[in-house]
Amino acid sequence: MADDRRDELEAILKLQRDAFTASRPETLGMRKDRIKRAMALLKDHGENLCKAMSADFGNRAMEQSMLTDISGTVGAGKHTLKHIDKWAKPEKRSVQFPLNLLGAKAEIRYEPKGVIGILSPWNFPVNLAFAPLMQVLGAGNRAMIKPSEFTERTSALMAELVEEYFTRDEVAVITGGPEVAQAFSSLPFDHLVFTGSTATGRKVMQAAAENLVPVTLELGGKSPVIMGRSADFAKAGERIALGKMMNAGQICLAPDYMVVPDDKEAEAIAGVSEGVANMYPKLLENDDYASIVSDRHFERLQSLVEDARDKGAEVIEVNPGNEDFANANQRKMPLTILRHVNDEMEAMQEEIFGPVLPVKTYRAIDEAVDYVNENDRPLGLYYFGEDTDEQDRVLNRTISGGVTTNDVIFHVSMDDLPFGGVGPSGMGSYHAIEGFKEFSHARSVYHQPKIDIAKLGGFKPPYGKATRKAAANMM
């Protein structure tokens, strides 16, 4: 990367950190004002941002973008505004005997960290830049955002709008490709939030480690759907279809594969297929159905299917309108269900991130649990069924970032639940109070009383009887 780009990044970081330091302490009113400006930016320019996202994807429904990227993100701002006074209050902590009787006091103050870097992906390009921003600002920080190069028009528009609504020392958007992203991740931020793939997350954490920059990693993975025998397969199928078809499966929490009872496989596949047909009677001639973001991503998905076919999978295309995808030239792909899958297939090794749905079968529910446990800890896990003992068994014996039962994805939309992964699907979380705390420094403050505690406690040399007594008491 040209040195002048690196100089530019370093200069913005310095500008923001200097402004941050000079303006402390800032009022909560100032933080609220910044959140309100971020919300106003989204409200005033939502339609243009949705148009840019559709142009970047090839096609993406305005209504979908409005829901997922604009109103959902304004909602994150509203939630932060509503709770910020309570979240930001210092927290009294107890002081142990006998210091409590002598007037000592202890508290935690949630203080801003400084300048926080936000590195975001293309799949929800506005949401995944601005939703963390709301909490970053709520915690009193400044922010530098580097959005994805795959959604170029959206990134350019975000840069332009941020310049209009914020001063450069408050929030700045930096556009550019992987080299800029790499330089960005190596800046000595006070914290870095990365949303993207596990592979890139590993590089980002390595780069951040050079400067001991703490990271929040919001990564991906293979989120399983475990269907119990007691599931309502028609209803479950429709919900899985909705979660898998929205944004054409390009969602970090999209159901990646299903594990179903062997005698219910046909019913489970029929449920999902009918769900798709009900919501999308046509796919090509249907603006509600998104395109795959780029030729490269489209080819990767095609090759996952071919690889599975070559290795013995049965491939079922769910094409309700009998449309000709081969000659469509639109980067649209029908839901493609894979039966008889095994671990040799790439579709069972990497995150799918598109409309391909492998189906595995089990005889006893523990086989499904064991399979999840043998693989990387997923971002989301979904259980369908009415058998609460079985549900407990699945939840108590697996580990995942989050869980939705009897549906998919929905846990991310609960304002008061933290969102994040575990192990290879991420670390740290945001949303809810956990997000505010993630972007704050929990500063321990202890107030010593007037009385000479050190002497009383036997800490003061010359050591003697009082010291020995204190040591014995502590045990």
Contact set with ligand NAD (CB under 6 A): 119-123, 128, 146, 148-149, 178, 181-182, 185, 195-197, 200, 203-204, 218-220, 252, 351, 353, 379, 421, 426
Catalytic annotation on 386? no
CB of 337 to ligand NAD, least distance (A): 21
Q: Write down the catalytic residue from 170, 238, 252, 351.
A: 252
Instruction: Name the residue nearer to ligand NAD (CB basis): 140 or 418.
Output: 418
Instruction: Name the residue nearer to ligand NAD (CB basis): 114 or 424.
Output: 424
Contacts of 162 (CB under 8 A, 6+ apart): 41, 145, 171, 172, 173
360 burial via Cβ count (<10 Å: 0-12, 13-18, 19+): buried
d(Cα 122, Cα 118) in Å, to the nearest integer? 13
d(Cα 252, Cα 123) in Å, to the nearest integer? 8
CB of 294 to ligand NAD, least distance (A): 10
- Number of H helices and E strands in the chain, helices first, is 16, 16
CA distances from 293 to 72, 298, 301, 331, 418 (A): 21, 7, 11, 8, 28
Instruction: Name the residue nearer to ligand NAD (CB basis): 200 or 336.
Output: 200
Instruction: Name the residue nearer to ligand NAD (CB basis): 403 or 470.
Output: 403
CB of 366 to ligand NAD, least distance (A): 28
Residue whose Cβ sits closest to ligand NAD? 220
CB of 312 to ligand NAD, least distance (A): 27
Contacts of 472 (CB under 8 A, 6+ apart): none
Q: What are phi and psi of 352, to 5 degrees?
A: -80, -50
Q: Supply 31's token pair.
A: 């933080």
CB of 457 to ligand NAD, least distance (A): 48
d(Cα 344, Cα 360) in Å, to the nearest integer? 13
Q: Write down the catalytic residue from 111, 170, 218, 265.
A: 218
Q: Which amino acid is at 260?
A: V
Instruction: Name the residue nearer to ligand NAD (CB basis): 194 or 371.
Output: 194
Instruction: Name the residue nearer to ligand NAD (CB basis): 107 or 376.
Output: 376
CB of 404 to ligand NAD, least distance (A): 15
d(Cα 216, Cα 170) in Å, to the nearest integer? 21
Q: Are 453 and 104 in contact (CB under 8 A)?
A: yes
Contacts of 326 (CB under 8 A, 6+ apart): none
- Taking CB atoms within 8 Å and a gap of at least 24, the contacts of 418-424 are 419/218, 420/216, 420/218, 421/217, 421/218, 421/219, 421/221, 421/377, 421/378, 421/379, 422/377, 423/376, 423/377, 423/399, 424/198, 424/219, 424/221, 424/376, 424/377
d(Cα 341, Cα 357) in Å, to the nearest integer? 10
- Residue 101 has a CB neighbour count (10 Å cut-off) of 9
DSSP state string for 15-29? HHHHHHHHHPSPPHH
Instruction: Name the residue nearer to ligand NAD (CB basis): 53 or 219.
Output: 219
DSSP state string for 140-160? T-EEEEE--SSSHHHHHHHHH
CB of 66 to ligand NAD, least distance (A): 18
CB of 421 to ligand NAD, least distance (A): 6
Instruction: Name the residue nearer to ligand NAD (CB basis): 23 or 175.
Output: 175
Q: How many residues does the chain have?
A: 475
105 strand-pairing partners: 447
Catalytic annotation on 218? yes
CB of 249 to ligand NAD, least distance (A): 11
Instruction: Name the residue nearer to ligand NAD (CB basis): 67 or 466.
Output: 67
d(Cα 334, Cα 256) in Å, to the nearest integer? 15
> Active-site residue numbers?
218, 252
